Structure 1
Amino acid sequence: MSTHGSNRHRTATLCARATGIRYTRCAQWAADGLITRHQPVPDARTTAQRAFEARVVNVLANALRDEQIDGAVLGVTGAVPTPDGLVLELHPEMAHRVVAELLPAFDRGYGGLRGVPGLRLVGRAGEWLLEDVGSPARIRLTHPDPGWTPRLPQDTELLTELWRGKPASLDRTEAEELTLWRSGRGVPRPLLRDIMLSRLLRRPLVVNEAGAAHGWANAYSHGYSDLVIEWCCGRDRDEVERKLRRSGLAAPPPAGVPLDPAKAKPRARGTIALEDAYVVVRALGSCDAGASSITAESITEANRARYR
C-alpha cells in the first residue's frame, strides 16, 4: 500500500472508531479531503454550530453524570459529524431523558435555568431536530426505533418548561444564561472552549470508553469552563487520552480561530487543551463499584418525573 493510501486508511479507521460511522464512508471522506490524519473527525464549520454543540455537551455531562446506561456517557451511541451539522444516535433507554434534560426549564428550587438556553425540539416521528433560537445551528436525533417519539416534559411545582411558552424566541432567563455562556465565566477564549466541547460530542465512541467497566462514568464541569470525565477502573487513562488526541480533539482550530503560542503551557497528564480550554480524563485507580444497577425506570424517578 502506498504512503498516501496508508494515510487514508489510518484516517478512515480513526474516524470510524471515534464516531461509529462505517469505515467505507470515512474512507470516502478521506479520499475527498474532508478528513485528514491530524483531523479525522470533521469540525463544525460555523461558530454558532460549535457553540450550540458545546452547550449540549455541558448540559448532558452535568445532568447525566454517573447515571448512564451501557456506558453511554452523554446518552449517545454514535454520531455523524459534518461541517454543516451533526447527527446523534441516542441510546434507546436514555433517549427520553436526554431530550428532557436538554429542553430549557426554570427551576424554582435553586432559582436558575436547567437545560440548554435557546434549544428547541422540532419534528415528528422519525425526524427530530434540536434547533438553536436565533441561529441556523441544529442537531438531528436518531433512534433505533424509526417511529420513536420523545416523551416531552411537563411543568411541575418546581420546573417551568420555558421552551413550551416561547417556541420561536428566548425567554429572559435564557437570554441571561446565554450572555454568561458567551462571556466565558472566566474562560479567556470561549471560542476555543466551544471547539473543544463540540469536538467531544462528535467522538462518542471514544468518550464512551470511560464507562466500559461498569456502564457509567462520572462527568461534570466547573461552571462553563471545562469538562471532566472520570472513572474508577477499566480503561487506562493514558489509553483514553491517547485515543482522544489521535482523533483530533486538540488539533489546531478551524481557520479564523488562531492560537497564541505564548499561551501554550505544559499540562498534567489526562488534560487535553487548546490554550486555556481543556477537557480532563481521569482514572481514579480504585474501584468499589459493581456492575451498574441503574435502569431507565430508576433514572425516571431521579429526574422528578419530567418526562412521564
Structure 2
Amino acid sequence: MSSSRNTNRLAKKIRNQTSLTLSTASRLARQANVYLGSSVTDATDPHQRRLEAHLAHVLASGFKDRQLNGALLGVREAKPDAQGLHLTLESEMADEFLRELLPRFDHFYGGVRGVPGLRVRGSNERVVLHDALSAAQVTVTRTDHSRMRLPSARDGEVLLWQRAPGGLSREEGQEAEEWVDSGGSADLRVRDLLLSRILRCPGVVNRTAEPHGFANCYTHHSGDLVIEWCCGDTMETLCANLLAHGIADGLPRRQAIELLSRHSAHLGDRTVILNRHNSCLCGRGAAEIAEYIRKGYES
C-alpha cells in the first residue's frame, strides 16, 4: 500500500468482512501492494457469473502446471464490457485455451471435456465464446492481436460445439446438470462469485506463476479451485492483494477466509484453496521446464 492510511483502511475492511482479528487483518494489510478501491467489477447477471466460474474451473484443471510466461489460466488481462467479459490471452497459450474450453466428447476419456453449452461466434482476431442457453458470453483476443485458431478434432473426439450449435447435445446436458447440482458445492452463489472473480483478477493471481513462468492449479470436484506455488508472493501477501481487490466482498463472514497456516488458506469455505510451498520446487531447472512446456504447445 502507498501509505499507512490506506493500510489502516484495508485492515478495517478485512476485519469487517471476515472472521479475522484486527491484528491479523493489519498484518495482511501491511503486505498488500495494491490500492484499496481497485475492487473487481462483478457481473450482474448470475448466468454470466456461472459461465465465467465454469471457465475458470475447467482452465484450472486443464492447464495444471503447463503455464507459459506466468499466465496461470492463460489470461493476461480481463475487462468487463457491455456484453460480458473481454479476456486478453497469453498468445502462446491461446490455442490451448480454446481447446480446453470448447466442449468435445472424448471416447478415450468416456465423457465430455470442456464447458458444456459453450459455443463460438466470430473468427480471425476476435472470438466470442457464448452460452447456448443464456446471454452469457466472453470475448477473447490474443496479446499479439494475431488470428485465433479454433481447435480441430483429435483421435476419438467429437466436437460438440460444432455438432449442436443451437442448443445442448444429450451428452452435454448431463454435464451441465452436474455443474449446477448443489450436491457438488455447499453454496453455488459463493462458488460462482469467487471463481468468476479469480478469472477477472489475472493481475493478482498471475503473481503466483511469475517467478518461474508457471505454478500449479487443479480441482477436486465442481466446488473448488486450488492454486499452488513455491516462490514469489507469500500466501499472506496473495491473500492480502486478493482481499484488497474485493475477493471476499459480499461473502458470509464465516466463509470469507480461513488462514490455516503460513502456507495455506481457504477462501469461500474451501472454494479457492491457496497453498504455497516453503521451499523452491524447481531450483535451477525452471527455464528447462518452461521450454519443455513451450515445445508441448508447439507439437
TM-score, normalised relative to structure 2: 0.80
The one-letter code matched in structure 1 to 2:119 is: R
Partners of 2:78 and 2:247 in 1: CA distance: 15
Q: CA deviation at 1:273?
A: 2.7
Q: CA deviation at 1:263?
A: 6.7
Q: CA deviation at 1:251?
A: 1.0
The one-letter code matched in structure 1 to 2:49 is: R
Alignment of 1:103-114 (within 5 A): 103-114=102-113
Asked if 1:271 corresponds to 2:269, the answer is no
* Partner residue in 2 for 1:202: 200
Alignment of 1:151-230 (within 5 A): 151-230=149-228
Among 269, 273, 277, which residue is 1:284 paired with? 277
Q: What secondary structure is seen at the aligned counterpart in 2 of 1:68? A: coil
- Identity across the alignment (%): 38
Partners of 1:53 and 1:124 in 2: CA distance: 21
The CA RMSD measured in Å over matched residues stands at 2.5
The one-letter code matched in structure 1 to 2:148 is: P
| CA deviation vs aligned residue, 1:63-92 (integer Å, no higher than 9, x gap) | 011001011010011111357521100001
- Specify every segment of 5 or more residues in structure 1 that has no aligned partner in the other structure, as ranges: 1-5, 12-35, 254-258, 302-308
Cα separation, partners in 2 of 1:298 and 1:265, compared to 1, 3 Å: closer
Cα separation, partners in 2 of 1:173 and 1:185, compared to 1, 3 Å: farther
Partners of 1:219 and 1:182 in 2: CA distance: 22
The one-letter code matched in structure 2 to 1:94 is: M
Alignment of 1:1-308 (within 5 A): 37=36, 40-82=39-81, 85-146=84-145, 148-253=146-251, 259=252, 266-269=258-261, 270-274=264-268, 276=269, 278-289=271-282, 290-291=285-286, 292-301=290-299
| CA deviation vs aligned residue, 1:198-238 (integer Å, no higher than 9, x gap) | 00000001110111121001101111111110012222111
Q: Could you list the structure 1 runs, at least 4 aligned residues long, displaced by more than 6 angstroms after superposition.
A: 261-265
The one-letter code matched in structure 1 to 2:195 is: L
Cα separation, partners in 2 of 1:84 and 1:123, compared to 1, 3 Å: closer
**Which one has a larger percent helix, Structure 1 or Structure 2?**
2
Q: What secondary structure is seen at the aligned counterpart in 2 of 1:169? A: coil
Q: CA deviation at 1:156?
A: 2.8
TM-score, normalised relative to structure 1: 0.78
The one-letter code matched in structure 2 to 1:273 is: L
Partners of 1:82 and 1:279 in 2: CA distance: 25
The one-letter code matched in structure 2 to 1:271 is: A
Q: CA deviation at 1:144?
A: 2.9
**Contact 1:206-1:243 at 8 Å conserved across structures:** yes
